[in-house]
């Protein structure tokens, strides 16, 4: 018995919708597998870890403890870098006029300026030392040039209300008072996305900030990504704290990973967990970048 055309049409439509639904379910299943792996890694860490992953192609984001406030360590320097280029746009600070180092800014920890006698360099170069070598003296120069409150206010204006610069580098007394530099995995990821898209920045400022962030440095996130793939980011570490965040310029599927760990029993364990997460996230996006919508590898 011949079925009515309308009935056949409905059946075909239902079959196509079912096929589309099955197809649409495969990529989310792959993402869910990644999330299970990342959750297991975070749970195995002797400490507390949160992360945010952003697909810069689709805007999709997912994570763990994304809105929890963590110490940023040196990753707060992303906010300082953004403020530097914004104040330059506003005509408040010059980027390329040499500025002598006031020795009162010199502090210990990472960096080289503390070892130099009387350097003078432009703020752009102080920023390069701040990002590439995590130079704390260079960072303090920039904080005083830009204004600590201005940096936090700028973050709030961007909607990053939990991203707060509350002390200079190597100010243990301020940290003991509770004036820690803080943010969340989601807000650090959002700040990197803002820089990636150039939101609120001129093309020149965006290019300048990214050029500094892309400069070569060994970080847990960077070690999880093949050397040929560019990464723009900034790590950070303190006693019991490990942080890393970056834009990964994977061809056809760029993404952001922000991971923060605290209450670490062993400091090195945080870096190991971040590197492992970076490898997993890269593998996920690399599969998407190389595959057809059906999952066949075509590139």
For the record, the structure tokens of 14 come out as 């239902």
pLDDT at 102: 75
The residues pairing with 71 across neighbouring beta strands, listed in sequence order, are: 182
Q: How does DSSP assign 82-147, residue by residue? A: HHHHHHHHTTSS-SSS-EEPPGGG--SSS-SGGG-SS-EE-HHHHHHHHHHS--HHHHHHHHHHH-
pLDDT at 9: 43
For the record, the structure tokens of 187 come out as 């807000």
4 pLDDT higher than 60: no
Nearest C-alpha neighbor of 52 from the set 221, 195, 185 = 185
37 pLDDT higher than 60: yes
Stretch 282-291: mean pLDDT: 96
pLDDT at 87: 98
Least confident among 114-118, 154-158, 261-265, 275-279: 114-118
Q: Which residue has the tokens 């697909």?
A: 55
pLDDT at 114: 67
117 pLDDT higher than 80: no
Nearest C-alpha neighbor of 259 from the set 73, 27, 125, 124 = 73
pLDDT digits (tens, 9 = 90+) for 187-244: 999 999 999 999 999 999 999 999 999 999 999 999 999 999 999 999 999 999 999 9
Q: For a pLDDT cut of 90, what percent of the chain falls above it?
A: 76
Q: How far apart are CA 99 and CA 109, in angstroms?
A: 22
Stretch 14-35: mean pLDDT: 67
169 pLDDT higher than 90: no
Report the greatest alpha carbon distance in the chain.
96
Q: Which residue has the tokens 């990821």?
A: 189
Q: How far apart are CA 204 and CA 164, in angstroms?
A: 26
Cα distances from 161 to residues 50, 152, 196, in angstroms, run 18, 8, 20
DSSP 166: -
For the record, the structure tokens of 95 come out as 């980027």
pLDDT at 172: 77
pLDDT band at 5 (very low <50, low <70, confident <90, very high): very low
Judge contact between 73 and 238, C-beta under 8 A: yes
The backbone torsions φ and ψ at residue 260, rounded to the nearest 5 degrees and listed phi first, read: -135, 135
Q: Domains in the chain, start-ordered, CATH in brackets?
A: 36-290 (3.40.710.10)
């Amino acid at each position: 018995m011949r079925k009515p055309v309308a009935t056949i049409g409905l059946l075909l439509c239902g079959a196509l919708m079912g096929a589309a639904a099955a197809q649409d379910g495969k990529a989310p299943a792959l993402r869910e597998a990644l999330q299970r792996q990342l959750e297991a890694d975070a749970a195995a860490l002797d400490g507390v870890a949160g992360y945010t992953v952003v697909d810069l192609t689709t805007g999709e984001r997912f994570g763990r403890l994304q809105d929890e406030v963590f110490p940023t360590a040196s990753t707060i320097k992303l906010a300082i870098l953004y403020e530097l280029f914004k104040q330059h746009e506003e005509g408040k600070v010059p980027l390329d006029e040499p500025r002598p180092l006031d020795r009162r800014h010199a502090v210990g920890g990472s960096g080289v300026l503390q070892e130099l006698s009387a350097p003078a360099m432009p703020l752009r170069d102080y920023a390069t030392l701040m990002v590439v070598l995590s130079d704390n003296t260079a960072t303090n120069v920039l904080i005083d040039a830009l204004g600590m409150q201005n940096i936090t206010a700028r973050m709030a204006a961007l909607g990053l209300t939990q991203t707060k610069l509350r002390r200079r580098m190597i100010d243990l007394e301020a940290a003991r008072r509770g004036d820690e530099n803080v943010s969340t995995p989601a807000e650090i990821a959002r700040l990197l996305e803002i820089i990636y898209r150039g939101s609120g920045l001129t093309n020149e400022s965006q290019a300048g900030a990214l050029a500094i962030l892309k400069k070569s440095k060994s970080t847990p996130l960077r070690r999880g990504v093949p050397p040929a793939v560019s990464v723009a980011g900034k790590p950070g570490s303190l006693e019991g704290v490990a942080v890393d965040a970056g834009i990964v310029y994977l061809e056809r599927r760029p993404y952001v990973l922000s991971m923060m760990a605290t209450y670490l029993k062993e400091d090195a364990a945080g870096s190991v967990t971040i590197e492992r997460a970076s490898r997993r996230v890269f593998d996920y996006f690399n599969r998407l970048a190389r595959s057809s919508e059906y999952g066949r590898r075509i590139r």
